[in-house]
Structure 1
């Protein structure tokens, strides 16, 4: 804090404490004109209610005085009076660092034990799942929701099913969290509106959804010439590229005709940020186990 801001803060503290202390001393001694009946003369409800005048109770005066003493002691012991650091040398950063160090010391034995297992094995450990849930809610729930059900508007996949864009093994999940993922579905508007509409019908047919058979048949050669490079000749996708399986009923951006048409026409951009800068390798290992557990809830269910 600069000297100017320090002086300003000190001025405000002195001003506020000075005014309130003056009122504290003046209040019990203030003379308020009263009527013979001991009221102020203010009435309501046609005289039914009258404002009484009573001295402040002694307990209130003593308590208020104690609060002033506590305020002065606080300003001596802790920072708050400009650049004064406080007699105790306390800082919020120091307290946070101390608490984090204490927490790390408690977690270290657990982390060492967790490192002995794969994410698939660790998914059955209640202690690992508990820690993984905390990490998930702190870092992943904003996109994938606390339940892990995902968010189609953000393109965040549902983690509770067993449909994985980049593979669902413990190693695959760890890589996704550690390195992040960048998925790109190029726009195909250049093929023409009718071709895009036909392709949307063909994609619907791959999953057995109601579709226009004539339009789907017209799009089949286009799909095999254009889309199979990523989605495969049978439309089952490619985890190496993050190309989704089009033959199931699980849709990252929605499975209606309008959604599919938009995906083909405009393309899609998906970005899963890398968490290796925010989380340690040990934390990512536990988090991967928790994500694996979301789609395999029966693992360790008997524990």
Structure 2
């Protein structure tokens, strides 16, 4: 806090506490004119209700005085009076650091145990899944939803279907979380609007979806421009993050309009790297939780 702001805060503290303390001292001694019946003369409901004047009860006076003492003591011990740090030297940053250190010390034995197992093995550990769920909801759910079902509007993939753009092994998922991923689908509007429609119909035919056979046949030769990434059979390439076009799973929507937009305008996707925010141990646990989301059926069949 700058010196100017510090003086401004000090001024406000002195002003507010000074006014309230003055009213506290003056209130019990104030002389209010009263009528012989002890009321102030203010009436309501055609005289049925009259305003009485009574001295402040002693409990209120003592309690309010104690609050002033507590306020003065607080300002002496803790920061709150401008740049004055308080006699105890307390700071919110220091308090947070102490709690974080205590939490890490408590979790250390558990994290040491987790490091002994691979992501695939850890995916069946209840303690790891409980911790991974919290990490997922805090860091990943904003895009992938709490259910991990993804979000077509954001291009965030469904993590429960075992269909992976960059591979679904434990090491692949760990790399995706640790380093992030960036995918680009270039726009092909230069092919012309009619060719984009034909190519979209051919892409639909690859997954056996309803399509216009004539347009699909016309679009098949054009797919050679796509095969470099998606493969000649349209099954994708995990090394490039090119999705499989044959499995009825669509990152940006599988309607005719969605596919035409994807081809004509292109798509860009970005998975941020979480290594600056999460430790390697946390990423290891989070990867196990993500891995578990797409293997729950197989896990249940083994039980």
TM-score bucket (shorter structure): over 0.9
Task: Kindly report which structure 2 residues correspond to 1:191-206, keeping only aligned pairs within 5 A, or say none.
Answer: 191-206=191-206
Partner of residue 60, structure 2: 60
Q: Which moved more, 1:65-74 or 1:148-157?
A: 148-157
Equivalent positions of 1:75-86 (< 5 A) are 75-86=75-86
What secondary structure, in the 3-state scheme, does the structure 1 residue paired with 2:220 have?
helix
How does the TM-score come out when normalised to structure 2?
A: 0.94
Asked whether the 8 Å contact 1:237–1:245 carries over to 2, the reply is yes
Q: Secondary structure at the match of 1:227?
A: helix
- Give the number of equivalent residue pairs: 302
Q: State which drifts further: 164-173 or 1-10.
A: 1-10
Deviations 1:207-260 (A, max 9, x none): 22221111111101111x111111122212111111111112221111111111
Uncovered stretches (5+) of structure 1, i.e. residues with no partner: none
Instruction: Specify the alignment match of 1:237 in structure 2.
Output: 236
Give the aligned partner of residue 27 of structure 1.
27
Residue 13 (structure 1) aligned with residue 9 (structure 2): no
List aligned pairs for 1:269-280, cutoff 5 A: 269-280=268-279
Paired residue for 2:216? 216
Using the alignment, how far apart are the partners of 1:86 and 1:297 within structure 2? Answer: 54
Q: Is the 8 A contact 1:207 1:248 kept in 2?
A: yes
For the aligned residue pairs, the C-alpha RMSD in angstroms reads 1.7
Contact 1:123 1:300 in 2 (8 A): no
CA contact (8 A) 1:124 1:299 kept: no
1:174-189 matches, within 5 Å, as 174-189=174-189
Structure 1 residues 113-153: Cα deviation after superposition (integer angstroms, max 9, x where no partner): 10111111111111111111121122112211222121112
Separation (CA, whole Å) in 1 of partners of 2:160 and 2:222 = 34
State the match for 2:43 in structure 1.
43
Note the residue ranges of structure 2 that are not aligned, 5 or more in a row.
none
SS at match of 1:90: coil
CA contact (8 A) 1:187 1:263 kept: yes
Written as runs of structure 1 = structure 2, the 5 A alignment for 1:137-156 is 137-156=137-156
Shift of 1:16: 0.9
Q: TM-score, normalised by structure 1?
A: 0.94
**Tell me, what secondary structure is at the counterpart of 1:271?**
strand
In 2, Cα distance between equivalents of 1:53 and 1:203 = 86
How many Å apart are 1:41 and its aligned residue? 2.7
The CA distance in 2 between the partners of 1:34 and 1:206, in whole Å, is 94
Shifted more, 64-73 versus 53-62: the winner is 53-62
Q: Which residue does 2:207 correspond to in 1?
A: 207
Shift of 1:298: 4.9
Deviations 1:14-63 (A, max 9, x none): 11110000011111222223333333333333333333333222222111
1:268: which partner in 2? 267
